[in-house]
Amino acid sequence: MSSWTIDRRAFLKVSASVGGSILLSSCMDTRASTAGAQSSLFEPNAYIRLAPDGMVTIVAKNPEIGQGVKTMLPMLIADELDVEWKNVKVEQAIADAKRFSRQFAGGSLATPFNYDELRRVGAAGRQMLIAAAAETWGVSADECTTSAGVVKHAASNRTAPYGTLVAKASTMRVPDLAKVKLKSPSEFRIIGTPVRGVDTPAIVAGKPLFGIDVKVPGMLYAVFVKCPVFAGKVASSNAEEVAKLPGVRHAFVVDGGTALNKLLGGVAIVADTWWAARKAREKLTVTWNEGATAQQSSAGFAAKAAELARGPAARTIVKAGDPDAAFASATKVVEAQYFYPFLSHATLEPQNCTASFANGKLEIWAPTQNPEPGRALCAETLGIKPTDITITMTRSGGGFGRRLNNDYMVEAAWISKTIGAPVKLLWTREDDMQHDFYRPAGFHNFKAAVDAAGKVTAWRNHFVSFGEGEKFAPSSSLDDDDFPAGFIPNLLVEASVMPLGVPTGPLRAPGSNALAFVMHGFIDELASAAGRDQVQFRLDLLGEPRMVMDKENKPMYDAARMRGVLQLVAEKSGWGRQVPKGTGLGVAFHYSHRGYFAEVVEVAAANGRFKINKVWVVGDIGAQVINPMNAEHQAQGSVLDGIGEALGQEITIEGGRTVQSNFDNYPLLRLVQAPPVEVHFKVTDNPVTGLGEPALPPVVPALCNAIFAATGVRIRSLPLSKQGWTYA
Amino acid sequence: MPFTLKVNGASRTVDADPEMPLLWVLRDLLDLPGTKYGCGIGQCGACTVQLRGNPIRSCQVPVSAVGNGEITTIEGLSVDGASHPLQKAWVELDVPQCGYCQAGQLMSAAALLKRTPKPTDAQIDSAMNGNLCRCATYLRIRSAIHRAAELGSGVAASSGKEG
């Protein structure tokens, strides 16, 4: 988990199947063939189109899911190109791995992957415009400067607006991206300023931006009914009768396979309107071959986890020092068991996709976070070439990791191919909640020793999770570099797994969104047992401000940065101040997705009811906050997302199927429940990193620790609603 | 069967199943996709439109129950899609993240401001609590409603044709 090379965990989780070609070379190879003296536009690369009137179109390469990349990435280009933001139009890229590499929304990676690269793209364009002006004027390019879309030559007092240089610039040599000169941060004019979302005006006008809004000529509407037990198959159905219902054009069985993230079996109903398909579904009867997963349940998982916890762990994840000896000589030993449930992504826009298959070619319009694996899946399933598939990435009504899987895409593609017409597949809310890739549940069995000085001397965690053999189910792992590895001298982290037929996958801040809760809940217990102040105890645990190295002696965790955000959040929240009886402050920190975050929650609680008075957030995402307007908002949204998860969200499994079905039994946070969230960024001399995720994890333990501070009641299991807590 | 609806100031005739919820009539038959489907059970508010000035969950209202009441959707909140005080405030404060719920939020907020031009936090809580935002943009929603109240004294200053 180096903080300045690639975050290994995040990279593996989101991009293993994403094309890894190099942006810098590939984007410059795509200089438009029309570029040249004949062209009316200057197109130095795949991202920039400059028109004679000075207007610049900048292509936003990554899918927008609400994280703000459609605004942020073009800001990077525009600043280095040195144009005014008001003269920029942003255009969403289609999925095209040849022109744009790494087009996905995941791992909070858009910033670290693109911060330098896209600035270079902009700087290259600027360099060509300068070269064009210099050649026209017969002066050295080194003597020319730019400002707000104008090239200047101070010595001769000449200026040339970019738009006047379009033809000439198009004949200039494309510079080597690795060698273009970038601005120093003091020269930024767009980066670091508050910029509003480029789609905000269209959103407030109700314009069709989302996948669900796609309409193509001749399009029909579909629902797809899958077995409620994951990967079950159709044994028999009355699809032929359903096909005769009013408005229905087709109803047919799809065999599907058994891979949870590919095409599963079910019945497709295609109609003139979505409502007709949805209504016809009520007349559908299916006998399912449910398969072995029908034997699985949340109660069964809990019983099995308890059994596994009593026995020896199946394997060791990381061991340091001599934990046995340390426990034997300990002053105080604390033990606790923690649990967190399965969670659903519950994107407000249900999964949907519009597909049009004709003449061996497939067109896709999809709200997807990860188009290239979707292309591969469709190609494999339909038996066509990936190059015969076009994918338009629509805006997504939320992502949170759900749309990294493209199961809905291949369903739409299959249905369109089967019926030979364009089709919009839309899942119902119930389909969406019951066919998710859930945040996996997990069970942690902790034991730790504290010495007489109140220092943690030993730590053991037997983590009971899901998977088979050495392999964890997706997003259910615990790694050898997870905190507190590297910070406690005698440490033993072990794991046992049980089989799982329920699909799991990344949910915003995968891994961390659960691990932070258990780690910082238990650390809070240790500080209490030691009778220490919670913040000071954590500072001592972090130790000297230093880079903690992993076993290969690579940078793993910057204790200095974490100490920095922890100290600042203590200051901002007035940590240690007197609070009324029944009010408590809780603190937690967590490093994830290259960001260092510490948060404090203030809670007022009594008699099983509680209210969050306020949350303080301090984050360190490096040397630059690119768009302060969105950065604050992402941090607030992440924190409120975490609070919503903790309050009442839980997916349970019975008979191999998901019990919850809609927002009446899977409650999202509501407006009245949203406390004020004060956000600060601690700017440090470190690489600039992403913000879609790392603010979420600490709030969950900080909230639970605050409830303890207010009431003396420990929260070791979520959600709070199941522990008898009501949000006042 | 045919239904004639008054939508955003215009008379529109559709041929629809009487049970078809207004939401799907608007989205799929009348090409007004600004109103969104979120849950289908009246829990999320993404489908909020105004019927005779009152916010309703259009996923819960069959087209046959609409009658000749004036319907206002997000597309009709203002003539230019930008000039309602709420739209101005939403842009000024950059309220949306993913944006999917925002049409419903705006239609609920517009109904609130019409009744209560200067709402308190408690009045905002009460009027807006039925509108879910999965991105949890609630803090800016609250601020933007206050800002819209300042900007336009509610609907009185709107150039929209909101019924």
Percent of chain A with pLDDT over 70: 95
Name chain B contacts of A633, Cβ cutoff 8 Å. Answer: 94, 97, 137, 140
- Pairwise CA distance, residues A8 & A2, whole Å: 7
B62 in contact with A, Cβ within 8 Å: no
pLDDT at A39: 58
- Pairwise CA distance, residues B8 & A238, whole Å: 42
Name chain A contacts of B29, Cβ cutoff 8 Å. Answer: 273
Q: Do A210 and B100 touch (CB under 8 A)?
A: yes
Q: Do B94 and A196 touch (CB under 8 A)?
A: yes
pLDDT bracket for residue B153 (50, 70, 90): low
- Pairwise CA distance, residues A710 & A663, whole Å: 30
Q: Which of B32, B39, B133 sits opposite A429 (nearest CB)?
A: B39
pLDDT at A26: 29
Q: Do A348 and B133 touch (CB under 8 A)?
A: yes
Name chain A contacts of B107, Cβ cutoff 8 Å. Answer: none
Overall pTM > 0.90: yes
- Pairwise CA distance, residues A129 & A166, whole Å: 8
Is the pLDDT at A575 greater than 90, yes or no? yes
Q: Mean of the pLDDT values across residues A595-599?
A: 98
Q: What is the pLDDT of residues A278-295, one digit of tens each?
A: 999 999 999 999 999 999
B46 in contact with A, Cβ within 8 Å: yes
Q: Do A662 and B90 touch (CB under 8 A)?
A: no
Q: Do A636 and B82 touch (CB under 8 A)?
A: no
Q: Mean of the pLDDT values across residues A235-252?
A: 98
- Cα Rg of chain A, angstroms: 27
Name chain A contacts of B24, Cβ cutoff 8 Å. Answer: 273-275
Q: Do B103 and A396 touch (CB under 8 A)?
A: no
Q: Which of A212, A400, A428 sits opposite B40 (nearest CB)?
A: A428
Q: Do the Cβ atoms of A414 and A406 come closer than 8 Å?
A: no
Looking at residue A398, the DSSP 8-state letter turns out to be -
- Pairwise CA distance, residues A205 & B73, whole Å: 10
Q: Do the Cβ atoms of A266 and A239 come closer than 8 Å?
A: no
Q: Do the Cβ atoms of B4 and B30 come closer than 8 Å?
A: no
pLDDT bracket for residue A244 (50, 70, 90): very high
B63 in contact with A, Cβ within 8 Å: no
Q: Do B96 and A199 touch (CB under 8 A)?
A: yes
Q: Do B102 and A395 touch (CB under 8 A)?
A: no
Q: Which of A196, A206, A641 sits opposite B103 (nearest CB)?
A: A206
Is the pLDDT at A221 greater than 70, yes or no? yes
Q: Do the Cβ atoms of A505 and A437 come closer than 8 Å?
A: yes
Looking at residue A648, the DSSP 8-state letter turns out to be H
Q: What is the pLDDT of residues A538-570, one digit of tens each?
A: 999 999 999 999 989 999 999 999 999 999 999
pLDDT at A41: 87
Strand partners, A450: A332, A456
- Pairwise CA distance, residues B1 & A496, whole Å: 61
Q: Do the Cβ atoms of A386 and A376 come closer than 8 Å?
A: yes
CA distances from A372 to A58, A259, A375, A381, A387 (A): 22, 18, 5, 14, 11
pLDDT at A6: 29
Question: Could you give the count of Cα atoms lying within 13 Å of A260 in the half-sphere of its Cβ?
Answer: 17
- Pairwise CA distance, residues A591 & A486, whole Å: 13
Q: Mean of the pLDDT values across residues B2-28?
A: 97
Sign of CA dihedral B23, B28, B29, B33: positive
Residue A582, phi-psi category: left (phi > 0), alpha (psi -120 to 50), beta (remainder): left
As a residue count, chain B comes to 163
Count other C-beta atoms under 10 Å from residue A209's C-beta: 24
Nearest residue on chain A to B23, alpha-carbon basis = A275
CA distances from A693 to A696, B15, B26, B50 (A): 6, 46, 35, 36
Q: Which spans in A383-461 are helix H?
A: 407-419, 429-434
Q: What is the pLDDT of residues A178-213, one digit of tens each?
A: 999 999 999 999 999 999 999 999 999 999 999 999
At residue A401, the 3 state secondary structure works out as coil
- Pairwise CA distance, residues A573 & A113, whole Å: 33
Q: Which of A66, A276, A664 sits opposite B97 (nearest CB)?
A: A66
Label residue A136 exposed, middle or buried (CB < 10 Å: 0-12, 13-18, 19+). Answer: middle
Residues within 8 A of A (CB atoms), B 15-44 only: 17, 19-21, 24, 28-29, 31-41, 43-44
Is the pLDDT at A502 greater than 70, yes or no? yes
Q: Do A201 and B124 touch (CB under 8 A)?
A: no
Place of tokens 């020092």: A321
Query: In this structure, what token pair is assigned to residue B8?
Result: 């955003």
- Cα Rg of chain B, angstroms: 15
pLDDT bracket for residue A491 (50, 70, 90): very high
Is the pLDDT at A341 greater than 60, yes or no? yes
Sign of CA dihedral B102, B103, B104, B106: positive
Name chain B contacts of A636, Cβ cutoff 8 Å. Answer: 136, 139
Name chain B contacts of A196, Cβ cutoff 8 Å. Answer: 91, 94
B47 in contact with A, Cβ within 8 Å: no
How many residue pairs bridge chain A and chain B with CB atoms within 8 Å of each other?
184
Residue A249: which residues within 8 A CB-CB, separation 6 or more? Answer: A220, A243, A270, A271, A272, A419
Residue A512: which residues within 8 A CB-CB, separation 6 or more? Answer: A590, A592, A593, A693, A694, A696, A697
DSSP output for A104-161: ---TT-HHHHHHHHHHHHHHHHHHHHHHHHHHHHTS-GGGEEEETTEEEEGGGTEEEE
Q: How far is A613 from chain B (nearest CA, A)?
A: 14
Count other C-beta atoms under 10 Å from residue A163's C-beta: 17
Looking at residue A490, the DSSP 8-state letter turns out to be E
Averaged confidence pLDDT in chain A = 93
Q: Do B39 and A201 touch (CB under 8 A)?
A: no
Name chain B contacts of A200, Cβ cutoff 8 Å. Answer: 90-91, 94-96, 99
Of A410, A415, A418, which is closest to residue A389 (Cα–Cα)? A410
pLDDT bracket for residue A101 (50, 70, 90): confident
Residue A80 host element (H or E) = helix A69-81
Q: Which spans in A649-712 are helix H?
A: 699-711
Q: What is the pLDDT of residues A105-162, one digit of tens each?
A: 999 999 999 999 999 999 999 999 999 999 999 999 999 999 999 999 999 999 999 9
Is the pLDDT at A50 greater than 90, yes or no? yes
Count other C-beta atoms under 10 Å from residue A349's C-beta: 31
Q: How far is A197 from chain B (nearest CA, A)?
A: 7
ipTM for the whole complex: 0.95
Strand partners, B39: none
Residue A162: which residues within 8 A CB-CB, separation 6 or more? Answer: A42, A50, A54, A56, A83, A129, A149, A150, A151, A169
Is the pLDDT at A31 greater than 80, yes or no? no
Looking at residue A263, the DSSP 8-state letter turns out to be P
Q: Do A204 and B91 touch (CB under 8 A)?
A: yes
- Pairwise CA distance, residues A464 & A500, whole Å: 12
Of A88, A114, A109, A81, which is closest to residue A182 (Cα–Cα)? A81
Sign of CA dihedral A664, A503, A345, A275: negative
Residue A631 host element (H or E) = helix A628-648
pLDDT at A45: 87
Q: Mean of the pLDDT values across residues A13-26?
A: 26
Of A291, A289, A264, A466, which is closest to residue A351 (Cα–Cα)? A264
Q: Do the Cβ atoms of A389 and A378 come closer than 8 Å?
A: yes
- Pairwise CA distance, residues A557 & A481, whole Å: 9
Q: Do B125 and A671 touch (CB under 8 A)?
A: yes
Strands (E), A456-594: 456-468, 471-472, 490-498, 547-549, 555-558, 583-592
- More confident of the two residues A12 and B3: B3
Q: Do the Cβ atoms of A14 and A404 come closer than 8 Å?
A: yes
Of A519, A465, A499, A497, which is closest to residue A342 (Cα–Cα)? A465
Of A697, A575, A580, which is closest to residue A643 (Cα–Cα)? A697
Sign of CA dihedral A338, A659, B101, B99: positive
DSSP output for A57-75: EEEE-SPPSSSSHHHHHHH
Q: How far is B13 from chain A (nearest CA, A)?
A: 16
Q: Do the Cβ atoms of A221 and A274 come closer than 8 Å?
A: yes
